[in-house]
Amino acid sequence: MTDTENFRPRDGRTRLVVHFGGHKTGSSAIQETLHAANDPKNGFLLLFAGHPNSSAMMQNAFLRPEKLLSIRASEATRADLPAMRDGARRHLRRIILEGIETCPRGTLILSAESISSFVPEEAEAMVAFFQDLPVDPEFIGYIREPATYLRSSFQEILKLRMPLNPVFDPTGCSVLPLEHHAIVGILDRCVGPDRVQAHVYDRAGFPEGSVVRHFLSALGIDSGALSPLESNEGMSQLGVKLIYTYRRLGACPFANRGPRRLEHRFSEDLGRLPDVPFELHPEVLDQTRAVNREIFDWAGRRLGRPFPEPKAKSGTGIRSEADLLRFSAEDLAKVSAHAAGFGVSTADLSPDPETVAAVLCRIRQTCQ
């Protein structure tokens, strides 16, 4: 953890703080709070790219073509990518220069958790872009313990369709989607570890349990006058099961593609269905920790403290893909009630996941 006194803009440049997430570490709460209090008199200015979350703009500006195309497959072709990249970079340059003019002596903040998945080539392009402007970039983000990150990132993968039809196979896992750990090392090499703050995401250790207050405190910004806006804690277990079933088995044109705005709203609606919070089975948590021993060792050295132990009730949670495709009578009753709100018949609904997927596709067809 770096002393914030070392974070000073050099050569008369404006301080630019880049928040890289990662996913499910309170990014939405940070973004929404900063946007609501976005006034230079508060000591900072959030660079607003049409949305408090600048992830899409940063992806368009710096992702490699193949990676960007896989994300934007329903919205862009390969021929569209050069104009998409150039437009995003022009937009980013413009809002940074406007931010410097608006808040010349304050802190500019850019928040985009998509940066947590940047590979070295993408991160280097981003840093070079910033260095060509009158700003001095520094980076800050949060790291989750691997088991809890897997639990949370699985929900994120479902919502964002990355990758398509993910197969949940914890028994064969050796590499987990821990890009947010990798980005810290990449940024350390690009700008030096004294310009990169990484913190364990541990709400129990944050001021008033708020990641927003911790974030601002880490930047040396007074958060006393701000009212943190806390965001959701993730989807219910039933919501995760339904979205997985829809992606995996849905035989409709929307199951793996379609307008991202509508897909996201559809997923959010399912995620709010009442049920217990999504958890991995204790055996999976143990496996996750075992195969990520090296990550624990690296993170402990980099962050100067161990991760808190994950907690799970014995014998509960999702153990395998089969668990994600298994529906109880109570689950089906909740699905029927949800479908009725959209005028969708559930006369054919049964525990068979294929019929559940068919009902979900009919619900999705009503979302326009």
Each residue of 92-130: pLDDT tens digit?
999 999 999 998 888 999 999 889 888 899 999 999 999
pLDDT, tens digit, for every residue of 304-317?
777 666 665 656 77
Place of tokens 């006058």: 225
Q: Tens digit of pLDDT for each residue in 2-57?
A: 333 444 555 678 999 999 987 778 888 899 888 888 888 888 899 987 788 899 89
Report residue 73's pLDDT band, with 50, 70 and 90 as the boundaries. Answer: low
| Average pLDDT rounded to a whole number, residues 147-167 | 50
Q: Output the CA torsion sign for 51, 54, 57, 60.
A: negative
Cα distance between residue 291 and residue 137, in whole Å:
34
pLDDT at residue 171 tops 70: no
Q: What percent of the chain has pLDDT over 70?
A: 74
* pLDDT per residue as tens digits for the range 179-219: 456 788 899 999 999 999 988 888 888 888 889 899 988 88
Is the pLDDT at 266 greater than 70? The verdict is yes
Cα–Cα dist 131/294, whole Å: 33
DSSP 8-state class, residue 258:
S
Token digits for 225?
């006058």
In angstroms, the CA 16 to CA 3 distance is: 17
Q: What is the pLDDT of residue 88?
A: 93
List, in order, residues 6 or more apart from 242 with CB less than 8 Å away: 270, 273, 335, 356, 360
Q: What is the pLDDT of residue 147?
A: 59
pLDDT at position 210 is 87
CB 180 within 8 A of CB 149: yes
Predicted local distance difference test score (pLDDT) of residue 4: 39
pLDDT, mean over the chain: 79
